[in-house]
Structure 1
Amino acid sequence: MGSAILPEDKQDLLQRPIVVTLVTLMPDMHPQANPVWFSWDGDYIWVNSAKGRQKDKNMRRQSKVTILSVDPNNPYRYLEVRGEVVEITEEGAIDHINFLSQRYRGQPDYYASMPDRRGKEQRVIYKIKPIKFI
């Protein structure tokens, strides 16, 4: 079950600003699930985090991930995306987290509500290639 083609009736689950669940693998191969903001460009899912966090370590070690997007209006309607991290970069990461902050909070400066963290963490972008949509 599942396909490399995003079902038309579920496209909104990647287009809307839904907090998705990102599942990565710990060193002992147990799954770790984190709520994350994301963006979708029609080909790739982009996730942003701070360097050194557990999900960052997990994705650097094991590129296979799963993203679960649940419709906030109907929890029985969801999209599971199995994918692979194909690029990890710091380039453009601050712009990306500010874009996500605007998208999710309506605030263009991610660090405006937590100025004590500004300049104290290195932001990283993960480019995820969907392999299968379920």
Structure 2
Amino acid sequence: MNGGPNRLWVKRAKRTGRLALFFIDPKNMWRWVLLQTRLVETIGDGADEHIDRLSQRYLGMPYRNPKIDRLIVKLEPSGSRSWS
């Protein structure tokens, strides 16, 4: 993942070492998955290039906000729950 170091979710992940990701099917709100993760590391080097690649892939254009530093946030799954 990629985020700014001052974002609440990044600060909380650094403080607790955990992060939960919740995905909902846009066509059926009762179909979802909760992924519990453990923070492996945060990396500053290459984070700007990483967010550009993600933005290019999903939005079709590079992402640039020079006012915000970026971090690559590496996570490891530790558990999951789902409903479908």
TM-score by length of 2: 0.84
Structure with the higher strand share, 1 or 2: 2
Is residue 70 of structure 2 the alignment partner of residue 123 of structure 1? yes
Structure with the bigger RCO (C-alpha within 8 Å, sep 6+) is 2
Alignment correspondent of 2:63: 110
Is residue 50 of structure 2 the alignment partner of residue 88 of structure 1? no
Structure 1, residues 59-95: CA drift from partner, whole Å, max 9, x if none? Answer: 1111111101111222211111011111111122112
Between the aligned residues of both structures, percent identity stands at 32
Q: Distance in 2 between matches of 1:77 and 1:93?
A: 32
Deviation above 6 Å: which 4+ runs of structure 1?
A: none
Q: Distance in 2 between matches of 1:97 and 1:69?
A: 20
Q: Which moved more, 1:81-90 or 1:51-60?
A: 51-60
- C-alpha RMSD over aligned residues: 1.3
Q: Distance in 1 between matches of 2:75 and 2:27?
A: 26
Structure 1, residues 85-117: CA drift from partner, whole Å, max 9, x if none? Answer: 11111122112111221232121x102xxxxx3
Unaligned runs of 5+ in 1: 1-46, 112-116
Q: Report the residue type matching 2:10 in the other structure.
A: D
- How many residue pairs get aligned? The number is 81
In structure 2, the residue corresponding to 1:51 is in which secondary structure?
coil
